[in-house]
Amino acid sequence: MHTLSEDTFRRITALMHGAVGLSFNESKKPLVSSRLGPRLQRLGLDSFEAYFDLISRPDDGGEFQMAVDLLTTNETYFFREPAHFDLLERELTATKPASVAVWSAASSFGDEAYSTAMLLADLQSQGRIGSGWSILGTDISDRVLRSAIEATYPEERLRNVSPQRMRRYCLRGEGLSEGMAQVSPELRRRVKFGQLNLCRPIEKLGPFDVVFLRNVLIYFDAPTKVAVVDRVLAELRTGGLFFIGTAEGRVPCRTQLQTLAPGAFRKLA
């Protein structure tokens, strides 16, 4: 077992904070050590210092990205916090828009983006919205984005998807793929994914009608949270809907918002 010294812990976390905004206070030292330790072993490195040298080199062969992947938690599942999807359905039904542009701004494996796609496809087929809807999922992690494009999930992750939607929008695996399900090609075509670091300036992406920024602010320190939320909200049109995780408390931002429900807001200006 390698020992992570205070000094190297600080250098690794400063690198992560500077480059991707991730914040780790002193209490996270065991977590950083346990997440990166096995990687050192696999690479045959003899110390965390050697690992820091590797990930801080410009020609690191992708190891910095690997460290980001190991240090972030990508947990997600379909229709997480279902009240947000119910609210979205009510809002869209009330306004019957011809088009809806949605951004899942820390999409992880794509569960949130495809859940929204299922809802919008249903609303379209019921004539409650027009056909011009689109969904963009972005994340900092390459690994989760590759998996999101493939859109194959253990059925456990789809536990909140109704049987009707499972039939309509998912292909269930058989034989060796038993217990897995893939989102249908028709739905996959409506959802695009791309890499985006929320802690860097955003090239014009929007305006979006709906933005999900759920369960990602937890990684950032207070000033970074404000910067990220304001940056993301600049891509949401006035009157658009904004969602954060219900456990994430008050929205730290300067943009004016109206609270609609826990973790759900409308942009006022």
Ligand X SMILES: C[S@@+](CC[C@H](N)C(=O)[O-])C[C@H]1O[C@@H](n2cnc3c(N)ncnc32)[C@H](O)[C@@H]1O
Query: Which residues form the interface with ligand X (CB under 6 A)?
Result: 20-21, 72-76, 80, 106, 108, 112, 139-141, 144, 197-199, 214-216, 219, 245
Please check whether residue 39 is in contact with residue 2, taking contact to mean a CB–CB distance below 8 angstroms: no
What DSSP state is assigned to residue 246?
G
Pick the closer one to ligand X by CB: 21 or 252.
Answer: 21
Q: Is 230 a known active-site residue?
A: no
Separation CA 173–CA 180 (nearest Å): 5
Nearer to ligand X, 84 or 188 (CB): 84
Return the structure tokens found at 68.
């980001």
Closest separation in Å from C-beta 243 to ligand X: 9
Pairing state between β 180-183 and 152-154: antiparallel
CA distance 121 to 208: 18
Nearer to ligand X, 200 or 269 (CB): 200
Residue 106's closest CA among 10, 229, 1?
Answer: 229
- Beta carbon of residue 200, minimum distance to ligand X (angstroms, whole number): 8
Q: Which is nearer to ligand X, 100 or 148 (CB)?
A: 148
Contact status, residue 5 vs residue 24, Cβ threshold 8 Å: no
Q: Where are the alpha helices (DSSP H) in the chain?
A: 6-20, 29-43, 48-55, 63-71, 82-95, 111-125, 142-150, 163-169, 185-189, 222-233
Closest approach, Cβ 55 to ligand X, in A, equals 16
- Per annotation, catalytic residue among 80, 111, 139, 188: 139
Residues in CB range of 28: below 8 A, 6 or more apart:
13
Least Å from the CB of residue 215 to ligand X: 4
Catalytic residue among 7, 10, 11, 35: 35
In the complex with ligand X, the residue whose CB is nearer, 74 or 182, is 74
Residue 199: CA count within 13 A, CB half-sphere:
18
- Closest residue (Cβ) to ligand X? 76
Q: Is 35 a catalytic residue?
A: yes
Omega into 223 within 30° of 0, i.e. cis? no
Q: What is the closest distance, in whole angstroms, from the C-beta atom of residue 197 to ligand X in the complex?
A: 5
The residues that are catalytic are 35, 139
